[in-house]
Amino acid sequence: MKEDLTEEITRIVNGKLTKKEINELMNFIGQAISSNLCSERDGFFKNLAYEMTGQVKELALMIIDFRKELRSKIHPHLTEIATKYAPQTADQLQTIIEATETAANKIMDNLEAMQEGTEAIKKSLTSLKQEAFVMPGGTEKIHGHVLSAISPFINSIESTMEDFSSRISDSFVQMSFQDLTGQRIKRVIDLMSQTEEKIKRMVISFGIKLTEREKNPNITSDELEKAVEQKVVELAGPQKEGEGLDQEDIDALLASI
């Protein structure tokens, strides 16, 4: 490219400048371009870094607000379970899976009881029919007009019981909503956990780097990275595990961004 520029300048000046003067002009142009580009480039990336840092801060605040909102909008009983009975389960979404599982199991308990009752009635009806109509001498035990009166009634009950059995089985299968919603929620939980981890990492990294750089403008990149790793290890202590973004520590870091 430099050769092309030299040729072009040579052509423009049309022999009015010596080779030495052209080289000096080339050097001057080179320096001028470099210094402009550098300061422009620095300015560009600086602005980009500020913009990105600002967006990361917004994301972190969004997640913190979302958690607060979820706590306030979720059914009080579920919040109670999460905070009182399951203090280690910081994730409210996991609590939803557990609550729906409990409800589905209670419904299935009732359905199973109804199934057993229905089967028992069906067996009794079959037995009654056999005694009244099928067994040898059975018809002699019951008077003709009584027989003709109860026969349709028994058949009707049998048909209703069949219908009940079918509906109970179908209701049982409908409980699979808990599995299907649970799987979807689990994926959201995984995604949220991974996103939170990455945002936490970015907040820590930007926060520490900005703070340390302000204290000591001569700090090296290696020293900054070490400071970030130290903070990451500090925040990953046992009391912080599973809690996602910790309010106090992140607030402090966000304030520095």
Partner 1 sequence: MDLNMKVLIVDDFATMRRILKNILRQIGFTNISEADNGRNALKELKKDDYGLVLCDWNMPEVSGIDLLKSMKSDDSLKGIPFIMVTAEAQKENIIEAVKAGVSSYIVKPFTAETVGEKLNKVFTS
Contact 199, 63 (CB under 8 A): yes
Q: Quick one: 16 exposed, middle or buried, by C-beta within 10 A (0-12, 13-18, 19+)? A: exposed
Among 56, 81, 92, 182, binds partner 1 (CB under 8 A): 182
Binding mask 137-176 for partner 1 (x = CB under 8 A): --------------------------------xx-xx-xx
Q: Does 9 bind partner 1 (CB under 8 A)?
A: no
The three-class DSSP label of residue 236 is coil
Contact 165, 119 (CB under 8 A): yes
Give the residue ranges of DSSP H helices in 81-131. Answer: 92-129
**Alpha-carbon gap, residue 14 to 4, rounded angstroms:** 15
Q: Does 246 bind partner 1 (CB under 8 A)?
A: no
Contact 206, 257 (CB under 8 A): yes
Q: Does 101 bind partner 1 (CB under 8 A)?
A: yes
Binding mask 183-222 for partner 1 (x = CB under 8 A): x---------------------------------------
Q: Which of 65, 179 has the CB closer to partner 1?
A: 179
Q: Which of 36, 169 has the CB closer to partner 1?
A: 169
Residues at the site binding partner 1, with contacts judged by CB under 8 A: 101, 104-105, 108, 112, 115, 169-170, 172-173, 175-180, 182-183
